[in-house]
Amino acid sequence: MKVNEYYRASSLEDAYRKLQEDPKNVILAGGLWIKKIGQSVNALIDLSTLGLNKISENEKEVVVGSLVTQREFENSKVINSLYGGAIAFATREVMGVNFRNIATIGGSIMGRYPFSDVISGLLPYDVELEFYPNQVMSLEDYLGYKGKLNSILVAIHIKKEKGNGFFKKVKTTALDFPIINFGVSKVNGKYTVVVGNRPAGSIRATKAMEYINNVANPSELDYKKAAEIAASELAFMDNKDASAEYRKELTKVYVKRGLMEVNK
Ligand X SMILES: Cc1cc2nc3c(=O)[nH]c(=O)nc-3n(C[C@H](O)[C@H](O)[C@H](O)COP(=O)(O)OP(=O)(O)OC[C@H]3O[C@@H](n4cnc5c(N)ncnc54)[C@H](O)[C@@H]3O)c2cc1C
Q: How far is the CB of 181 from ligand X (least distance, A)?
A: 8
Applying the rule CB under 6 A, the residues between 38 and 97 that interact with ligand X are 66, 94-95
Q: Which of 117, 126, 128, 261 binds ligand X (CB under 6 A)?
A: 117
| Measured distance CA(116)–CA(167) in Å, rounded | 12
Q: Which of positions 90-109 make contact with ligand X (CB under 6 A)?
A: 94-95, 103-104, 106-108
Cα dihedral angle (169, 173, 175, 181), rounded to 10 degrees? -10
29 lies in the site for ligand X, by CB under 6 A: yes
Residues 219 and 97: their CA atoms lie apart, in Å, by 39
Report if residue 246 touches ligand X, rule: CB under 6 A.
no
Q: How many CA atoms lie within 13 A of 54 on its CB side?
A: 6
Answer for which of 55, 68, 79, 110 binds ligand X (CB under 6 A) is: 110
- Tell me if the bond preceding 124 is cis, omega within 30° of 0: no
Cα 118 to the center of its chain, rounded Å: 4
Q: How far is CA 216 from the centre of its chain?
A: 30
Where does this chain touch ligand X (CB under 6 A) — which range of 23-31, 199-207, 230-238, 245-253?
23-31
Alpha helices, H only, the chain: 12-21, 32-37, 70-75, 77-80, 86-92, 97-100, 105-110, 117-122, 139-144, 206-213, 220-233, 244-261
Q: Tell me: does residue 116 bind ligand X (CB under 6 A).
A: yes
CB of 95 to ligand X, least distance (A): 5
Tell me which of 152, 156, 194, 208 binds ligand X, using CB under 6 A: 152
Using rule CB under 6 A, residue 9 touches ligand X: no
Hey, which residues between 182 and 241 contact ligand X (CB under 6 A)? none
Size of interface with ligand X, in residues (CB under 6 A):
29
Per rule CB under 6 A, is residue 28 in the interface with ligand X?
yes
Q: Which residues bind ligand X (CB under 6 A)?
A: 26-34, 36, 66, 94-95, 103-104, 106-108, 110-111, 113, 115-118, 152-153, 177-178
